[in-house]
A and B are shown apart, each in its own frame.
Chain A
Amino acid sequence: MQSKPISFLSILLPLLALLHTGCTKEKALMYEDDPRVYFKKYNVAHDSVNYSFAVKDPAQLVDSVYLQLRIMGNARPYDREINIQLSDTSTARQGYHFVLGPQIMPAGQYETKIPVYLYRRAGLKDSTITADFIIGASKDFQPGYDDLPTVAVTNRLHYKISMDDRLVKPERWDGMLAPYFGAWSLVKLNFMIRATGRLDWTVLIYPNELSNLSQLSREAMSMYVAANGPLIDENGAVVEFP
């Protein structure tokens, strides 16, 4: 019967140990996966950007756009390498049509903007080329997450820059410009640029300024028609504003 007290102790001690665990402070659940990086994309940072030198000053031979990147995991107290690769689908040549800026996530940062320097080359006058970027693995980052299973599915591992040196239909035409300027045509856009002096029609323009641009275009058109007759676009249609 010498063993009975021992058996009670063997019950009591684990029980006390279990009760004691309730007094320990729970550690917060933290992300501890391997660091990753992805293209930051929202409505104002689209999947792709269409860049045209045609709306720039003729003397401007280089310009820049930015790739916005964001990391998963914690910031680190040192610079980390990002590996942005060019896809085989690209028609733009690195070092000729564009040059990527330093691919670094700065120390202590969760986000960064990497410049892409675009060069105005002769071939852009008659063709549109694309630089298709993909997030690759580096010694510091793995590729981040891809599509979000939401209404607005966004590919966060790819980013495309289209560039040319000829007027193309601004990507915001149908949604933003059409109510003020009507159907798009190349001749109409050229006329609007001359009438208003505004070169960049790809950015967000607020209604007050849109109204002004529309009024200036119409006023210029009334004077043009009075002096020259109707302006005909590349489709053979009379250029009109609704």
Chain B
Amino acid sequence: MKNIAIQCRLGVLLCLLTAVAGCYKDKGNYAYQVTNAVLVSDTLTRGIKAINKGDTLVLTPAVSQTMVSGDANLSYEWSFTTLNGGSTLRRILAHTKQLKAVMDSNFVLGFSYVLTYKVTDNNSGESVFLKYNISIGNKYSQGWMLLEDKGGTTDFSMILPDGEVVHDVYSTLNGVVLADKPVRMQISTFLVSDGVNEASRKLYLLMEHGGMEIDYTKMSRRYDYGGLFYTAPAVIQPTYTGFPSSATSMGSAINNGKLYINAAGPFPGIKKWGGALVSPENKLNYELAPFVISGPGINGNVYPVVVYDKVGKRFCGVSGTGASLDSFARGASTLFDMNHTGMDLIYMDNSPAGQANAFMKDATGQVQFCRFRMSYTAVDSVLTLMKQPVNDAAIAGMHTAASSLMSDHIFYGTGNKVYRYEPASNTTALQYSFPANEQVTIIKCPMPLADAPQVAVVTWDGTQSRLYLFYINAMGGIDSYSVVYGGFGKVADAEYKFRY
């Protein structure tokens, strides 16, 4: 029995020791065995890879291993999921080290996809991944668009990034000829969410008695002009339709001389243009020039939109609610009266600093350069910044202009010449003279392109329009053009179409 008692004591002791062992802290002193690591990389994983539908996507990521030479132990998988439409369906594309895949019917035009590259070490079973973002476009995704008057009908051509010129793009893609004279072509400066379609840049084509929104990717007609409004205006004569600034997300349309607003901020619901805004007198007693200035935002002491009333010879602002045209406070005007300039507006746009540049002609025929801002403070309510006569005989004949986005200069066209105006010195300088029979009709300064900032100049010689591209030099001017494209109908407007 004594042995039994001892065994029992030992048993209890053993149990207690076992229980106490659970309280022992594991210090984790292990000897780790280094295993093979697979390394994959590709600079194309940064940003979005754009590719046209029907083209072949070739991806060649770099693959290496830390302990194994060769790649006999590796297996590969390329798969993709769509980013659009809420679907996350995953499909296998290939099992090859490098990808060479045609963007076929599995990929929808205008959609974006996440493409996943998986490399597995078959010895360890470990996998590493790369992710690519790809966007499916077409040959019309990017390039200069030229809106043409072709004997009273409207169409547009495109100059693609590789220099290829494609004529009659609208009629080719839509199968119809637009029997109306062109007025303007406008592209939003940012991706607009209208509550119906996928957010994208908005492309509007305006004609004398109609217009439309064009699908930015497919380049097909999406909505007639009247369909862009809650209630279609009785008279459709659009001169401006666009979303000029992401700072306000406020669309402006000038139709039949009246302003319509489309507040497209980051809130739910369908976004359309509303009713015509009334004047500061709560009347429709105004007619707007075809220019819209964008302010720096919609909240606080700002005017998100500023326009010019040709009847009242005055600027008008729009508040953040986009409800009506407002006159400016008494303290806003010092250099000229914003509420009654007594001048005719020749041209107006935003300066690179976000202020407004305006060329105006006073009662004596003198051209004045005016500049104002769209924001103010409680202690500084002055909006007017500059008013000075421009003493250059050629400026009186100005019929097109564009503020440079690279420096404080404005390019303008008179006759067959392009000039540059410098507000700081109040001087003009001849930049380029075209042949005498070529009249400068349009100047555009698009957002800087990938290679260098450009100025586009369109001319008309009575039989054809040409587009000249100039690079902006270090002094903010232009010298000789880099390339010219010809053979266009009479170009009414030109815009650069960015891929996104």
Which residues of the other chain, A, contact B15 by a CB distance below 8 angstroms?
Answer: 12, 15-16, 19
A216 CA to B262 CA in the complex, in Å?
A: 13
Chain B, interface size: which category? 35 or more
Residues 214-235 of A, flagged 1 when their CB comes within 8 A of B and 0 if not, give: 1110110110011000000000
Q: Is the CB of B4 within 8 A of A241?
A: no
A210 CA to B268 CA in the complex, in Å?
A: 12
Known: A207-B267, A221-B282, A222-B278. A214 touches B321 (CB 8 A): yes
Residues 1-44 of B, flagged 1 when their CB comes within 8 A of A and 0 if not, give: 10011001101100110010000000000000000000000000
Q: Is the CB of A211 within 8 A of B269?
A: no
Q: Is the CB of A208 within 8 A of B264?
A: yes
Residues 184-211 of A, flagged 1 when their CB comes within 8 A of B and 0 if not, give: 0000000000000000000000111111
Residues 264-286 of B, flagged 1 when their CB comes within 8 A of A and 0 if not, give: 11011111111111100011100
Known: A15-B15, A216-B275. A207 touches B8 (CB 8 A): no
A216 CA to B11 CA in the complex, in Å?
A: 92
Which residues of the other chain, B, contact A214 by a CB distance below 8 angstroms?
Answer: 274, 321-324
A226 CA to B281 CA in the complex, in Å?
A: 11
A45 CA to B267 CA in the complex, in Å?
A: 20
What residue of chain B has the Cβ atom nearest to residue A219's Cβ?
A: B275
A139 within 8 A of B: no
B207 within 8 A of A: no
Q: Is the CB of B267 within 8 A of A211?
A: no
Q: Is the CB of A219 within 8 A of B321?
A: no
A205 CA to B271 CA in the complex, in Å?
A: 12
User: Which residue in B263, B269, B276, B322 is a CB contact (below 8 Å) of A219?
Assistant: B276
A212 CA to B443 CA in the complex, in Å?
A: 35
A37 CA to B475 CA in the complex, in Å?
A: 76
Q: Is the CB of A208 within 8 A of B278?
A: no
Q: Count chain B CB atoms within 10 A of each CB in A214, A218, A225 and give the residue with the most.
A: A218
B261 within 8 A of A: yes
Known: A5-B1, A215-B274. A222 touches B282 (CB 8 A): yes
User: Which residue in A1, A8, A241, A242 is a CB contact (below 8 Å) of B8?
Assistant: A8
Which residues of the other chain, B, contact A211 by a CB distance below 8 angstroms?
Answer: 261, 263, 274, 321-323
Instruction: For the complex formed, measure the closest distance between the CB of B255 and the CB atoms of chain A, giving whole angstroms.
Output: 13
User: Which residue in A9, A11, A179, A208 is a CB contact (below 8 Å) of B272?
Assistant: A208
Q: Is the CB of A208 within 8 A of B5?
A: no
Q: Is the CB of B272 within 8 A of A212?
A: yes
**Residues 218-233 (chain B) with a chain A CB within 8 angstroms:** 230-231
Instruction: For the complex formed, measure the closest distance between the CB of B194 and the CB atoms of chain A, giving whole angstroms.
Output: 9
Number of A-B contacts (CB under 8 A): 104
Q: Count chain B CB atoms within 10 A of each CB in A211, A216, A225, A241 and give the residue with the most.
A: A211
A25 within 8 A of B: no
A215 CA to B282 CA in the complex, in Å?
A: 10
A5 CA to B272 CA in the complex, in Å?
A: 92
Which residues of the other chain, A, contact B274 by a CB distance below 8 angstroms?
Answer: 208, 211-216
Q: Is the CB of A215 within 8 A of B12?
A: no
A75 CA to B4 CA in the complex, in Å?
A: 58
Q: Is the CB of A15 within 8 A of B12?
A: yes
Which residues of the other chain, A, contact B282 by a CB distance below 8 angstroms?
Answer: 218, 221-222, 225, 240-241
Instruction: For the complex formed, measure the closest distance between the CB of A174 and the CB atoms of chain B, giving whole angstroms.
Output: 15
Chain A, interface size: which category? 20 to 34
What residue of chain B has the Cβ atom nearest to residue A18's Cβ?
A: B19
Interface of A is mostly: helix
Q: Is the CB of A180 within 8 A of B321?
A: yes
A4 within 8 A of B: yes
Which residues of the other chain, A, contact B1 by a CB distance below 8 angstroms?
Answer: 1-2, 4-5
Which residues of the other chain, A, contact B195 by a CB distance below 8 angstroms?
Answer: 208
Q: Is the CB of A8 within 8 A of B5?
A: yes
Known: A207-B265, A211-B323. A9 touches B8 (CB 8 A): yes
What residue of chain B has the Cβ atom nearest to residue A195's Cβ?
A: B275
Q: Is the CB of A5 within 8 A of B275?
A: no
Which residues of the other chain, A, contact B11 by a CB distance below 8 angstroms?
Answer: 8, 12
Which residues of the other chain, A, contact B275 by a CB distance below 8 angstroms?
Answer: 212, 215-216, 218-219
Known: A5-B1, A8-B9, A15-B12. A212 touches B321 (CB 8 A): no
Known: A4-B1, A221-B282. A208 touches B263 (CB 8 A): yes
Q: Is the CB of A241 within 8 A of B12?
A: no
A11 CA to B19 CA in the complex, in Å?
A: 15
Residues 1-29 of A, flagged 1 when their CB comes within 8 A of B and 0 if not, give: 11011001101100110010000000000
Instruction: For the complex formed, measure the closest distance between the CB of B372 and the CB atoms of chain A, giving whole angstroms.
Output: 24
Instruction: For the complex formed, measure the closest distance between the CB of B87 and the CB atoms of chain A, giving whole angstroms.
Output: 27
Known: A5-B8, A12-B8, A221-B282. A215 touches B276 (CB 8 A): yes
Instruction: For the complex formed, measure the closest distance between the CB of B65 and the CB atoms of chain A, giving whole angstroms.
Output: 44
A211 CA to B25 CA in the complex, in Å?
A: 67
Which residues of the other chain, B, contact A8 by a CB distance below 8 angstroms?
Answer: 5, 8-9, 11-12
Which residues of the other chain, A, contact B324 by a CB distance below 8 angstroms?
Answer: 214-215, 218, 241
Q: Is the CB of B323 within 8 A of A208?
A: no
Known: A215-B276, A225-B282, A241-B324. A11 touches B12 (CB 8 A): yes
A209 CA to B322 CA in the complex, in Å?
A: 11
Known: A5-B1, A218-B282, A222-B284. A208 touches B276 (CB 8 A): no
Q: Is the CB of A226 within 8 A of B283?
A: yes
Considering the complex of A and B, which 10 residue pairs feature the smallest CB-CB distances, nearest first? A212-B274, A8-B8, A206-B269, A215-B275, A216-B275, A214-B323, A215-B274, A211-B322, A218-B278, A212-B230
Q: With contacts A8-B8, A214-B321, A214-B324 known, what are 20 further pairs, Cβ within 8 A?
A: A12-B8, A15-B12, A15-B16, A19-B15, A206-B269, A207-B267, A208-B262, A208-B270, A208-B272, A211-B263, A214-B274, A214-B323, A215-B275, A215-B276, A215-B278, A216-B275, A218-B278, A219-B275, A219-B278, A242-B323
What would 22 A/B residue contacts be, using CB atoms closer than 8 Å?
Answer: A4-B5, A8-B8, A8-B12, A9-B8, A11-B12, A207-B263, A207-B267, A208-B262, A208-B269, A211-B323, A215-B276, A215-B278, A215-B324, A216-B231, A218-B278, A219-B276, A219-B278, A219-B284, A222-B282, A225-B282, A241-B323, A242-B323
